[in-house]
Structure 1
Amino acid sequence: MQMFEAILQLTTVHWVTITVILHISFSFLTSVHVLLFKENERTSLAWISLVILSPVLGGMFYWLFGINRIKRLAQKEHPPELKEDLRQEETTIKFHWLPRHWHSAIISGYTIHPLSHLAGNTVEPLINGDAAYPEMIQSINRAKRYVVLSSYIFDCDSLGQQFVNALAKAQQRGVTVKVLLDGIGIRYSWHKSDRALKKLGVTTARFLPAISLTSIRFINLRNHRKTLCIDGELAYIGGMNISKNNVVKSAKKPIDDVQFKVTGPVIDQISQVFVEDWFFATREKIQFPQYDPSAPTPMQLSNNSVLSRVVQDGPDENHNQVKWTLINALVCAQKSVKIITPYFIPDQSLMTSLHAAALRGVSIEIIVPGNSNIPFINWVMEANFSRIIQHGIKIYTNNRPFDHSKAVMIDDIWSFIGSSNWDARSLEFNFEINLECFDADLNAKLTALFDVKRQNAALVNKSEINALPIYKKVRNNLFRLFSPYL
């Protein structure tokens, strides 16, 4: 008892000294961890500054949000040798009919992500939920064996209820149904969609729950993938969540977006990503039906044949695969680069690649929302406008309420579609899935979509940037400092 009182008295008298010693020790250990495990110099310097200048809180913030524990967890629960077992054996690299200057991109692309480009696919853009949702629900209604759905947001509104009912009816007629929802995204609907599905007997799982009894999970690691695979016959992929706001004609707060209907052998690569994600979330290895080339769908009977492959990304062993794929393609650009993205906050390597292409005479045009759904994202993008438009790059702000579409088109042949945005959140922390496509017809359709959006957009010019009030410039550039963490 006397010892306790002595310690208490010592603490009371010397609390300032003790606090300083603890702060210095904690800051030192945290800074050492940053130096050893953070690769980006600017990010490392920012973390160390935060740790030193913000006693205790800075260090706690780093240990909560700055560490990528998912890579270690992925290797423990989903080791590479198991992933090799889950994946099909791929063929050797083929250049197919591609122009010679794209051959190096195929070689390096395979090194970045060892999945082969597969011919014989069709990829159909479905504009907004008005076109996409009826097709998706109809496909669920026609399912005979297996349905797997992965979504970041699954609102339990009138539109979400249509999906719940379709999935439940499929389950009731003997179809195996699996729904994977992100542990953070599910909170947008207060878990109502999850409960509604379970109540009707549909099997659901959460990818990285925010609260777990087995391990610590973190809010900054999210499964941002949006896919629907049916019977090994067709798949849907893109950036569209399940929400009535995507039904633009009737929505009070409309969100423009595009989803893609896919058939052909590449759907096995899409469904395989779900199989791996489901195993990671549940430890259950499912046997999803494989694509059967002997039973073509009506879409496959057309003359279109898209050369395509999946490129997945995440803070695990697939880290930076999307960024390197984009850089790889920008190196091959000869005429034009067109980008549609809701968030355009590229890191220095991507921005340098865009400027290098512009310096070669490549026309580069970017469309971003004029009004983001996240105000401070608008401020960060505004802060970067003067840097972006150097060397002739053009950036347009879309006047629509909010455009969530994601697509990249290079020259008249290469397209990149899926769930990834051009920001650190998407390229560093999120689990994403995209399709790399070579096809002139698909490129033309997406270019036409780009042209329509550009008609409703305003070109950013230097005079507008210079005319911003000084307080907005300061605000924008202040938030730009935090862009690696947004």
Structure 2
Amino acid sequence: MHIFEELLGWFYIHWVTITVILHISVSLLTSLHVLLFKENEGTSLAWIGLVILSPIVGSLFYWLFGINRIKRLAKKKHPKKSKPDFRHQEKPINFHHLPKHWHPSIIAGHTIHPVNYLANNSIELLINGDIAYPAMIQSIHSAKRYVVLSSYIFDCDALGSQFINALAAANKRGVVVNVLLDGIGIGYSWRKSDQALNKLGVKTARFLPAISLTSIRFINLRNHRKILCVDGEEAYIGGMNVSQSNVVKSAVNPIDDVQFKVTGPVIDQISQVFTEDWFFATGELIQFPLYNPNDRPNTTQQTSEQSVVARVIQDGPDEDHNKIRWTLINALVCAQTSVKIITPYFIPDRTLMTSLHAAALRGVSIEIIVPQHSDIPLVDWVMQANFLRIIEHGIHIYKNKRPFDHSKIVIIDNIWSFVGSTNWDARSLEFNFEINLECFDTALNAKLTELFNVKKQNSVIVTEAEMNDFSTLKKIRNNLFRLFSPYL
């Protein structure tokens, strides 16, 4: 007891010195990590400043929010030998009779993400949950062998209960069902859908659970993918979570969105992404059935409709980092007439913004639709801070007056489109695990363009005068939060 009292007295006398030494040691270690592993100079300088000027707290924030710990872990947990080979190394590149000026883009695309472009796919637009959810639930009810579902948010509300019941019924009749939910996204609902599924015998897993006894988790890394695959015959991807809010006709706070029903050989690439995510989360390698065109009913009719050349682009803070950013840059280089973008959050980094401006300077028409009010006021302020910079060189931004449009679509000319889960912001492009379809098809582009024009009719254009009319206080607020845009 006497020794303890002496030790406590010594700490009381020297606590300032101890604190200073601890701060210097931790700050030095953290700053060295920033210098070695951060690529962006501005971000590195900001982190070092925070670490030095905010004793202990700055270092704590960096180790929690500033590190991509998944990169090395993913390589360890995703051994290449456990993956089916969808790569193209031993096969010549197939241009699928696409326009010649897109051939360099296809070559670059294979270099960015060595996965083959596949022909004979069908991509069907399902507008809002009113149309998408009944189709998805019907596919689950029709499942014979295997169902996999991945979602960022899976609310345990009236709509979520329909999915839970359909999945449980499939499991009960002998269908293998695997449901993967994000460890942070599951927290959006106070009733946990995975717990409800488990009680009914459905196998679930959480991707990077917020609390783990085996390793440290970081709340800035999230699985934002939305995937449903059934029997290797049908797949659904897009930006739509499982939530009553997407049933626009009956929702209290409706959310517009688009889901895409996919048939064709590209389904194998979609299910492979789920297989890898499930393996990462559980260590279990599942054997999902491959696409077989002979399993499809009315094969002749289906083939005549399957004209889309497509492939999956997956991205995340792992070995697939930056693949979506490079895919967008690659496509923007090939744009000849028009670029149309629908996104709930438009906060592009300098590289993407430069690519858009370069296209505009070549005379390409660039139109962007964002919500007039998103679900995150801070993001609205950041977008407002950037509007004047964005509309230079003739780029047009429209604010959709609908309650909130969560759609994520890119359309270039009459041939190329990009659909899936990715937003135009740092969170999607840096921290989230995302999945998109890169598509070539004039008929698909015509349908997407029609949807774009419908949304544009309900929008108002952003003008320079409107932005200049903001009060000084609003401009200060907007630009202050713009500094934190990579972490919103």
Q: Which category of TM-score, normalised to the shorter sequence, fits these structures?
A: over 0.9
2:140 touches 2:167 (CA, 8 Å); kept in 1?
yes
* 2:72 corresponds to: 72
* 1:269 corresponds to: 269
**Partner amino acid, structure 1, of 2:361:** L
Following superposition, the deviation at residue 100 of structure 1 comes to: 1.0
Q: Distance in 1 between matches of 2:378 and 2:141?
A: 41
Q: C-alpha offsets along residues 409-449 of structure 1, whole Å, 9 cap, x if unaligned? A: 00010000000000111010100000000000111111111
Q: Unaligned regions of 5+ residues in structure 1, if any?
A: none
**1:161-176 → structure 2 map (5 Å cutoff):** 161-176=161-176
Work out whether 1:309 is the aligned partner of 2:308. Answer: no
* 2:200 corresponds to: 200
Q: Distance in 1 between matches of 2:484 and 2:86?
A: 41
**Partner amino acid, structure 2, of 1:385:** F
* 2:413 corresponds to: 411
**1:50-199 → structure 2 map (5 Å cutoff):** 50-79=50-79, 81-83=80-82, 85-88=83-86, 90=88, 91-199=91-199
Following superposition, the deviation at residue 309 of structure 1 comes to: 0.2
Q: Distance in 2 between matches of 1:323 and 1:190?
A: 34
1:233 touches 1:297 (CA, 8 Å); kept in 2?
no
Work out whether 1:19 is the aligned partner of 2:19. Answer: yes
Match of 2:294, SS state, is coil
Q: Distance in 1 between matches of 2:376 and 2:256?
A: 15
Q: C-alpha offsets along residues 200-241 of structure 1, whole Å, 9 cap, x if unaligned? A: 111111111111111111111111000100111110010000
**Partner amino acid, structure 2, of 1:356:** A
Q: Distance in 1 between matches of 2:74 and 2:97?
A: 37
**Partner amino acid, structure 1, of 2:81:** L
**Partner amino acid, structure 1, of 2:236:** Y
* 1:439 corresponds to: 441
* 1:392 corresponds to: 394
1:144 touches 1:231 (CA, 8 Å); kept in 2?
yes
* 1:235 corresponds to: 235
Following superposition, the deviation at residue 7 of structure 1 comes to: 4.3
Q: C-alpha offsets along residues 160-203 of structure 1, whole Å, 9 cap, x if unaligned? A: 11111111111111111111111111111235211111111111
**Partner amino acid, structure 2, of 1:18:** I
1:121 touches 1:300 (CA, 8 Å); kept in 2?
no
**Partner amino acid, structure 2, of 1:162:** Q
1:264 touches 1:300 (CA, 8 Å); kept in 2?
no
2:342 corresponds to which of 340, 343, 362: 340
* 1:327 corresponds to: 329
**1:276-287 → structure 2 map (5 Å cutoff):** 276-287=276-287
1:425 corresponds to which of 424, 427, 438: 427
* 2:223 corresponds to: 223
2:130 touches 2:246 (CA, 8 Å); kept in 1?
yes
Q: C-alpha offsets along residues 93-126 of structure 1, whole Å, 9 cap, x if unaligned? A: 1111111111011011011111000000000010
Match of 1:115, SS state, is coil
Q: Distance in 2 between matches of 1:333 and 1:288?
A: 37
Following superposition, the deviation at residue 336 of structure 1 comes to: 0.5
2:120 touches 2:303 (CA, 8 Å); kept in 1?
no
2:470 corresponds to which of 446, 468, 471: 468
Q: Distance in 1 between matches of 2:272 and 2:399?
A: 36
Taking structure 1 as reference, are residues 388 and 238 closer, same or farther at Cα in structure 2, changes over 3 Å only? same
**Partner amino acid, structure 1, of 2:409:** A
Following superposition, the deviation at residue 2 of structure 1 comes to: 6.1
* 1:482 corresponds to: 484
1:140 touches 1:230 (CA, 8 Å); kept in 2?
yes
Match of 2:93, SS state, is coil
Equivalences, count: 484
Please say which of residues 404-413 and 184-193 is displaced more in the overlay. Answer: 184-193
Q: Distance in 2 between matches of 1:129 and 1:117?
A: 29
Q: C-alpha offsets along residues 393-417 of structure 1, whole Å, 9 cap, x if unaligned? A: 1111111110000000000100000
Q: Distance in 2 between matches of 1:455 and 1:9?
A: 73
1:43 touches 1:484 (CA, 8 Å); kept in 2?
no
Work out whether 1:381 is the aligned partner of 2:380. Answer: no
Match of 1:181, SS state, is strand
Following superposition, the deviation at residue 368 of structure 1 comes to: 0.6
2:264 touches 2:306 (CA, 8 Å); kept in 1?
no
Q: C-alpha offsets along residues 281-337 of structure 1, whole Å, 9 cap, x if unaligned? A: 111111111111233444624344100000000100000000000000000001100
**Partner amino acid, structure 2, of 1:82:** K
**Partner amino acid, structure 1, of 2:378:** F
Q: Distance in 1 between matches of 2:273 and 2:305?
A: 28
1:364 touches 1:393 (CA, 8 Å); kept in 2?
yes
Following superposition, the deviation at residue 13 of structure 1 comes to: 2.8
Following superposition, the deviation at residue 20 of structure 1 comes to: 2.2
Following superposition, the deviation at residue 4 of structure 1 comes to: 4.9
Following superposition, the deviation at residue 21 of structure 1 comes to: 2.5
2:344 touches 2:371 (CA, 8 Å); kept in 1?
yes
2:237 touches 2:420 (CA, 8 Å); kept in 1?
yes
Q: Distance in 2 between matches of 1:89 and 1:34?
A: 34
Following superposition, the deviation at residue 5 of structure 1 comes to: 4.6
**Partner amino acid, structure 1, of 2:288:** F
Match of 1:35, SS state, is helix
Taking structure 1 as reference, are residues 315 and 204 closer, same or farther at Cα in structure 2, changes over 3 Å only? same
Match of 1:327, SS state, is helix
* 2:369 corresponds to: 367
Q: Distance in 2 between matches of 1:11 and 1:181?
A: 47
Following superposition, the deviation at residue 86 of structure 1 comes to: 3.0
Percent sequence identity over matched residues? 73
Match of 1:178, SS state, is strand
2:246 touches 2:256 (CA, 8 Å); kept in 1?
yes
**Partner amino acid, structure 1, of 2:77:** E
**Partner amino acid, structure 2, of 1:468:** F
Q: C-alpha offsets along residues 457-483 of structure 1, whole Å, 9 cap, x if unaligned? A: 110001110000111110110000011
**Partner amino acid, structure 1, of 2:163:** F
* 2:37 corresponds to: 37
Following superposition, the deviation at residue 277 of structure 1 comes to: 0.8
2:122 touches 2:305 (CA, 8 Å); kept in 1?
no
**Partner amino acid, structure 2, of 1:214:** T
**Partner amino acid, structure 2, of 1:454:** K
* 1:252 corresponds to: 252
Q: C-alpha offsets along residues 70-100 of structure 1, whole Å, 9 cap, x if unaligned? A: 1121122223x235x4334544311111111
